[in-house]
Homo-oligomer: A and B are copies of this chain.
Amino acid sequence: MKLTISPLALFLVACGIAYPQIQNQPDDGQWVMAAKNYASTRYSTLTQINTGNVAGLQLKWSFSTGSLRGNEAAPLIVNNTMYIVTPYPNVLYALDLTKPGAPAKWAYEPRPAASSQGVACCDVVNRGAAYYNGKIYYNLLDDETVAVDATTGKQVWRTKLGDINNGESITMAPIVAKGKVIVGNSGGEFGVRGWLTGLDADTGKIAWRAYGAGPDKDVLIGPNFKPFYAQDRGKDLGVSSWPRDAWKIGGAAAWGWVSYDPDLDLIYYGTSNPGPWNPDQRPGDNKWSSTLFARRPETGEAIWAYQTNPHDLHDYDDVNENILLDLTINGQPRKVLAHPDRNGRMYIMDRTTGEVLSAEPFAYVNSTLSVDVKTGKLNLNPSKITGFKTVRDICPAPPGGKDWQPSAFSPQTGLIYIPHNNLCFEEQGTQANYIAGTPYVGMNVRMYAGPGGNRGFFTAWDPVHAKKVWSIPEMFPAWSGTVVTAGGVVFYGTMDGWFKALDARSGKELWKFKLGSGTVGQPVSYKGPDGKQYIAILCGVGGWSGAVVSGGLNPVDGTGALGFLNAMGDLGKYTTKGGMLYVFGLP
């Protein structure tokens, strides 16, 4: 594994902006992990499709995933083969790109336990796979990780990591770093004990497990653990910051994104909300829920941590993407991570130390007032503190300023492209009682559109100056991934099914195409065997935001889907269930 710096990146370093092209191969037009590269930039260096010709983009072929639940996965493209993971039952298809439209070369059907569908809080989704060294790695809803031979489709290993009877499931896309497959569980709404695990990529053997709460030895906190801020220092905070034994059912799962900096040899990821949602049931900081961690990939050892949302009040998971960038900020070159948090703030942090450099809102926020970058303290709005009471007009809502839907960064523009939400909510705290494998929430929630009445935005953000550059309102939450290219084009999709291409500098819409169903998928860009550039995306609305359609929920009960239903009752008027890959190219 080596660090590759493209000539363009070197040029940009000279100009004050750089990004580490850190992935397990150079950008040869493939797409080997959901986030494109270890830095999670989702930036493609391909230029054939550009601002001058993107208006002529055409559908080249399509492929039905055979599943009508939320199709959230990023396709992978490796060695002229495209790999697609479906929602439960998590079939893996291999499509031969040398024969567009040919039948799948093979389908790997792992048949995860059907009962796992019952512990998926927010649709039976899967966010994709990772390729490494001849194998495709991905997770099954029933807490398994599998390695599949990328050529033959034969299972190489399959490892059980959790127990659905405890409410655990796995939906995240793994990465492979230093020979370890990095996987985390889901289940913050079921009172699981969250963890991140490293598996040996060759054998599937569990190399380490880092829990999200509990004693230091379980969290893999040792002598090398150096948090930047005082409040994150101390022995066994993962026990002492909870009521007695509550850490054992306290969530802090790791169902989101993992980035990796090979130079610093650190992986970055965040933990989920604590359980239950009702904060009055868990006095204390509830470490290490809603926390960003830097760890060693080979051992899981914690190097630093920053609890973004101590004693979380609003389901502000910390699992969103961390984009690794080398920026010049206030005249200083800094190795940063950019983390658009559920709480609506874009954290720009020194990824070596965990210092917060800025944390300005990219979405409408009234739940918090500011972040003191000196102390790392999040200043709460006293009128928006939840618990055993009713609180109204809290922004952002539990799905956050944004949820898992990943942003992209272009070194050409220096901008981060954020698909996000504009949702507020009201809550009433109730008593949650823990019963293993059942919802453990303790909060009745109703969400609705934030200021302006639109429920989403697609926003371009300047991470150096910590400010919004432009923003495009969307009727529904912008809940797809995004990809930005060296052709100067940024792509994303909407829950009512429009797949859009914008000028990455101006935000001007250059092209749009109506997919058969709304999309919550992750677009990718790749070079085909014919040397041409293609853009691929799955449609198939669903996930937490789209459960009203994919799960056929009755919108009459606004508290359904953990309160999201109240905000999305009209989605079914705008789109239908679906599950289809679309591959676009130039004529």
Contact = CB atoms under 8 A, between A and B. Distances in A.
A396 interface: no
A534 B20 CA distance: 47
A431 interface: no
A59 B513 CA distance: 10
A573 B514 contact: no
A279 interface: no
Nearest to A540: B64
Contacts of A107: 572
B580 A103 contact: no
Contact of A516 (B58, B64, B498): B64
A581 to B, nearest CB: 7
Contacts of A529: none
Contact of A580 (B64, B496, B513, B587): B64
A111 to B, nearest CB: 12
Contacts of A498: 101
A320 interface: no
Nearest to A105: B573
Interface in A537-587: 539-540, 572-581, 587
Contact of A574 (B65, B103, B575): B103
Given A68-B68, A498-B101, A587-B587, A513 B61 contact: yes
| Protomer copies | 2
A517 to B, nearest CB: 4
Given A58-B59, A59-B58, A66 B101 contact: no
A14 B59 CA distance: 44
Contacts of A576: 63-66, 93, 104
A442 B101 CA distance: 41
A87 to B, nearest CB: 13
Given A58-B58, A66-B68, A514 B101 contact: yes
Contact of A62 (B516, B540, B574): B516
A573 B102 CA distance: 10
A497 interface: yes
B577 A514 contact: no
A515 interface: yes
A59 B582 CA distance: 11
Interface string A64-105: 111010000000000000000000000001000000110110
Contacts of A66: 68, 517, 576-578
Central interface residue in A93, A516, A539, by most chain B CB within 10 Å: A516
A514 B64 contact: no
B496 A581 contact: no
A576 B65 CA distance: 7
B581 A514 contact: no
A580 B63 CA distance: 11
Residue among A66, A581, A587 with max Cβ neighbours from chain B (10 Å): A66
B58 A581 contact: no
Nearest to A583: B514
Interface string A51-62: 000000011011
Interface of A: 58-59, 61-66, 68, 93, 100-101, 103-104, 107, 496-498, 513-517, 539-540, 572-581, 587
24 contacts: A58-B59, A61-B514, A62-B62, A62-B516, A63-B516, A64-B68, A64-B516, A64-B517, A64-B539, A64-B576, A64-B577, A64-B578, A66-B68, A66-B517, A66-B578, A68-B579, A100-B514, A101-B498, A103-B496, A103-B573, A103-B574, A103-B575, A104-B576, A578-B579
Given A66-B577, A68-B579, A580-B580, 16 more contacts: A58-B59, A62-B515, A64-B577, A64-B578, A64-B580, A65-B576, A66-B517, A100-B514, A101-B498, A101-B513, A101-B514, A103-B496, A103-B574, A104-B576, A107-B572, A516-B580
Q: Which 9 A-B pairs have the closest CB atoms?
A: A101-B514, A64-B578, A64-B516, A62-B516, A64-B517, A66-B577, A66-B576, A59-B59, A103-B574
